[in-house]
A = this chain, B = another copy of it.
């Protein structure tokens, strides 16, 4: 496979689908994942190993993981809220698992019904499980610091809390931490600063990815700020799926199509064929005709005479 500069990690099948009421049929999920992989997307978070009673949209995650593993060159990621979820993810064959730790403890207790220490206990139990596996079966394990830029319940979140929890996640055995703007409150200066602070706490190689939202329209500006700091993995969702960004609890994800166009136009290699990526949207809108899809590039199309990295003076 060709080299890339920036890894776009598609989270629509997890973060998008878990935020909407409709349940996407398993076959449509498979078609979506396959089409994105064929368009050159290298990593997809395909689902979440949560109890189907809580999130019926995610009930077929094990099947989707198993299917996605058959797609050449694709890293198959999944979210796990606890040890039980990690066990299921490993059984299904996920290449990478992420566990969210909400920096706002109020949010953590409201969403996961767990204190920080209880979440860290799950992390330690997962690491113990991972360490018992043969090296070639061990998935990567990221601790994802959610509500890192502010919380809809607590408001501002102290940076010292973010850096402290980043350190604790690494000490507990996570391979990496990620910064998540769960609530769409981040701004570019705050992001640059927090990336530097966390990296100075845990090391540059322990923070390479961010999960940003577009709730207030700053998504791509925040991505640009993150790239300036050397971040190389960025999450996004096809069509910004995750429902209406201003509905309670909805995500306002960054739109994969606009993100891919921005990076490609800047001459940053993503491995993605933009034309093919823009065609994937039809699979999602056919399967979810009532969901709002976002993004500008899908409607505007590529500019006349467009070539990757135009105007950057190569």
Cβ-defined contact, A193 with B312, below 8 A: yes
Q: Which residue of B lies closest to A309 (CB)?
A: B189
Q: Please, what's the 1-or-0 string for A272-314, where 1 marks a CB less than 8 Å from any CB in chain B?
A: 0000000000000000000000011101110111110111110
Query: A129 within 8 Å of B by Cβ?
Result: no
**CA separation between A159 and B186, bound complex, in Å?**
34
Q: What is the total number of copies of this protein in its complex? A: 2
Contacts A187-B312, A262-B187 given: A150-B297 contact, CB under 8 Å?
no
Stretch in A13-21, A166-174, A217-225 with 4+ CB within 8 Å of B: A217-225
State the majority secondary structure of interface residues on A. Answer: loop
**CA separation between A246 and B296, bound complex, in Å?**
8
CB-CB < 8 A to A185: which residues of B? 303, 306
Q: Which residue of B lies closest to A244 (CB)?
A: B299
Query: A214 within 8 Å of B by Cβ?
Result: yes
Interface centre among A190, A245, A295, A300 (most CB of B within 10 A): A300
- Please report which residues of chain A, range 110-156, place their CB below 8 angstroms from some CB of chain B when the two chains form the complex: 149-156
Query: A194 within 8 Å of B by Cβ?
Result: yes
CB-CB < 8 A to A152: which residues of B? 303-304
Query: A183 within 8 Å of B by Cβ?
Result: yes
Cβ-defined contact, B262 with A188, below 8 A: yes
Contacts A224-B221, A265-B187 given: A216-B300 contact, CB under 8 Å?
yes
**CA separation between A150 and B307, bound complex, in Å?**
12
Contacts A218-B220, A221-B223 given: A155-B300 contact, CB under 8 Å?
no
Contacts A156-B305, A188-B224, A221-B262 given: A252-B310 contact, CB under 8 Å?
no
Cβ-defined contact, B216 with A217, below 8 A: no
Known A187-B262, A218-B261; 19 more pairs at CB < 8 Å:
A149-B311, A150-B304, A155-B305, A156-B307, A159-B311, A185-B306, A188-B262, A189-B267, A189-B309, A190-B311, A193-B313, A214-B296, A216-B262, A216-B303, A217-B220, A218-B265, A220-B220, A221-B224, A221-B262
25 A-B residue pairings within 8 Å (CB atoms):
A149-B311, A152-B303, A155-B303, A156-B305, A156-B307, A159-B311, A185-B306, A186-B311, A187-B262, A187-B266, A188-B224, A188-B262, A189-B267, A190-B265, A216-B303, A217-B220, A217-B258, A217-B297, A220-B220, A220-B221, A221-B224, A221-B262, A245-B296, A246-B301, A252-B300
